[in-house]
Structure formats: structure tokens, C-alpha cells
Amino acid sequence: MAEKMVEHITSMDEDFAQWYTDTVKKADLIDYSSIKGCMIFRPYGYALWENIRKLLDEKFRKTGHENVYMPMFIPESLLNKEKEHVEGFAPEVAWVTHGGSEPLAERICVRPTSETLFCEHYANIIRSYRDLPKLYNQWCSVVRWEKTTRPFLRNREFLWQEGHTMHETREEAIEETLQMLNIYADFHENELAIPVIRGEKTPSDKFAGAENTYCIEAMMHDGKALQAGTSHFFGDGFAKAFDITYTDRNNTLRHPFQTSWGVSTRMIGGIIMTHGDNNGLVLPPAVAPIQVVIIPVAAHKPGVIESARKLADELSGRFRVKLDDSDQSPGWKYAEYEMKGVPLRIEIGPRDIENGVCVTVSRHDRKKVTADLSDIADTVEKRLEEVRAGLYEKALANREARTYKCRTTDEIRKTLAGGKDGFIKAMWCGSEECEKKVKELCGVGSRCVPFEQEHISDVCVCCSKPAKLQVLWGIAY
């Protein structure tokens, strides 16, 4: 086991939940506010979100989406227009009942999601097939009054993006739904180095008001599942409820087809719990606020600080670089940036300068490589890619080691005995009753029906009737 450099973070093997809390606090990601479940993003934590947002926003724009902003308040009468939708969110809605000292004539909710607002707007602006598709996205905060909260994973107020689009045909809307799911999946795997499983939610677990909900599921270090992103196909249900119509190419009045898709700051929790270790954060280079930290060694000696600054200037055009020329000891700095998860550390001292080299140290495996200063930028790029690939392979190996195939509920219970968590692959007959019974008997819920199906047996894991689908089961955050 690697040397533990940060002593004031609880070991993840001792108490994973406490390790998580220690890490988000000690790494300066957040602070707690006076309202339970509402957290303060400190600069380092918010910079992480800004990098995620920037990369995703570029991907959305390339696929033709435009950013808009909707109000944060929704009148109760508007929310009630789609019955299934409002029933799904009712337990988590925060209500405004007064404006100043005066009671409001109608309650107003603080948006838990914005489908109703977008539908109201679309009803006003869509008239013809020439107005379609509408490819809108917004970056905002939403409020859901969660009973149990945990930083990034479950907050009463959290940041996210929510895409809301309208289309001429069912086929075009379904294509959009799957396109956005794949953008999320590729982003998690390529930029965040988190392997995910793509699939569809079971009917009992789909988004309120949706015909189909698609998701990506990731496994955390402790074997629990995290729903990392969702994309919903609404059909024309909302359009009918909100009387959204357009004149088609044959001059016939029709309802458009709708999608909705989103990811949130929950991704930051996923990064922490997938890649972190007993020294704190381990950040994928694509979103790390600091990609490279430069530590001068024997900084009091002539030429060391100057050489470190020159190196920082050279690298800052291609990477997010921090030069720490403070009076703290090198050892303190090593531990500090380990805790903050900086992907690559560069050490440079008098002997290195004399030899025209520096020492690079990768965060995820502490591998030290002496690098020639003459082509240091290319070396840093290569090392950062090694970090990304190493993180992905480690996370994938953890998922594979904790994924089990089971044919009966007894097998599931035995596999997960002793508090062991992981993904279970098992067959399902399609009955909601069996889905509920598996959770009651084994403690695992359905996470998704994977797109890549495996044939594990001919019968349902619960009732032994003929199986229709293979389901991924697990305990989720």
C-alpha cells in the first residue's frame, strides 16, 4: 500500500462515508451553510464545476443546442398541468407562500426541474414545422427538499444543466434522447475517466411523465452505484397537456415530441468516490482546476525560483499550472497537492537545473519520471494522458472485480453477504412485483436494463418464470 501522506483524512477502508466527508472538506471543495443540504462552493470546488460545465457546453453547442434561462419560480397551477409529473416531484417541492409580508394568491414552487416552464414557453413560440426542432439547454440551480443530504450527492439545492427539446417526429426525438445519453457516457469515460454502463430504466423507475428514461450507471470505489446522468423521451404527453401544437408539412395540426436530459454537480461526488484514495482527491486532468503544480526544491538557492517561474510560464499556455513558491516546506506542499488531487507534480531543484531536467510525479500512482526541460510540454501532455488512462483502468478493474452474475435471489444474498457491495447481473421476467421483491429480499434495486444484454439464464431471478431481460442491480447513492 502507498505511503499515507495526509493523516487527518479517515481511511476509506475504516469508514468510507467519513472518508468522503473529510475529503470534500479538507480539499477545500465546499463549506456547509446554515441551511441543511445547501452547501457553499469554495473556489477550488467551483473551479472543478466550471471546467465540467465548459467542456459539456462545448459538446452541446456542437450538436446545435442553445443556452437559455428560465425563471426559478413555477406557479402551482402550471406545475399541476401534467399530473404524473407533479405527483413524482410533490414530496420534494419547496413552496413560496408569501411575497414580503403578504400571502400569495397562489403558491409558487422553487423549480425542482423545468419541464413545465419550457412547455409554457414552447406553447407560445412553436407554430409550424419550420419552428422545429427546438434544441434548448439551461445551466441553473434547482431545489429538491431531500430528507437525507450529503455534499454533491444529495443536496436541497444543487447545480445542473437541463436540456429540453421539441421535435417533429417520434423517431427524431428518440434519436436526440440517445444522442445526449451517449454524449454523457463519452464525457464520463473520456474526460472523467469513469467507466459507465448505458441502459434504460425499468418502467417503475422512469422519470415522472416520461415514456422512456435512459441512464448511465457508474460504480464507486466501495461497490455502490451512482446514477451519473439521465436522458428522457417524453413522447407527446407534455405537448398535449400544455396544448403545444404545430402545423406539419401537410398543413395538419400536430403535437411535437419532447425530450429532457441532465447531469448535475453529483458528477463531482462521482469523481471523488471513483478515483479518490486515502490521501484525498485524485482528479482526472481534463477537469482538474490545477493540472500541474510546480514545487521548487531548495528554493533559497540561486536560480531555483527563477527557473521554476520560467517553467511555469512555458507550460501555462497549454495547461492549468500553479507555481507554489510559498515559504512552506516541499514536504508540506507535496501532501497539500496530493490532498487536492492535482494530477501531476513537477519538482525542480539546483541539481535538476544543472542537468537540464526536472522530476515529474503522477498523483494516481506516484510514479516518478525525470524529464528533459527542452521538451517538457510534450512530456507533461504524455504524463497527463497516462494519468487519465490509469484512472480509467483502475476504475474499470474495480467494477469488473465487483460485478457478479446470479441466477437466484439466494445467490444474490450469498454474493453480497457481510456488507459487500457490487453490481449484480441477473435475469428478470418484466414484472414490477418481482422487481420489488428482489429489493425486499436482497437489498438491491434495479439500476437499469443494459443496452448490451447478456443471457445468464432462461428464468427470472425471482419467480423462475421465463426471463425477458437482463437487469443490472445494485445499492445506489
What is the CATH number for 423?
3.30.110.30
Same domain as 351, residue 316: yes
| Parent domain of 470 | 403-474
Same domain as 434, residue 308: no
Whether the link from the prior residue into 133 is cis, omega within 30° of 0, is yes
Q: Cβ-count burial of 250 within 10 angstroms (0-12 exposed, 13-18 middle, 19+ buried)?
A: exposed
Give the pLDDT of the chain (477 residues) as one tens digit per residue. Answer: 455 555 579 999 999 999 999 999 999 999 999 999 999 999 999 999 999 999 999 999 999 999 999 999 999 999 888 777 777 778 899 999 999 999 999 999 999 999 999 999 999 999 999 999 999 999 999 999 999 999 999 999 999 999 999 999 999 999 999 999 999 999 999 999 999 999 999 999 999 889 999 999 999 999 999 999 999 999 999 999 999 999 999 999 999 999 999 999 999 999 999 999 999 999 999 999 999 999 999 989 999 999 999 999 999 999 999 999 999 999 999 999 999 999 999 999 999 999 999 999 999 999 999 999 999 999 999 999 999 999 999 999 999 999 999 999 999 999 999 889 999 999 999 999 999 999 999 999 999 999 999 999 999 999 989 999 999 999 999
Domain annotation covers residue 394: no
d(CA 39, CA 46): 11
What is the CATH number for 377?
3.40.50.800
Q: How many domains does the chain have?
A: 3
Domain annotation covers residue 3: no
Domain annotation covers residue 398: no
CB 277 within 8 A of CB 338: no
Over the stretch 187-239, which tens digit does the pLDDT of each residue have? 999 999 999 999 999 999 999 889 999 999 999 999 999 999 999 999 999 99
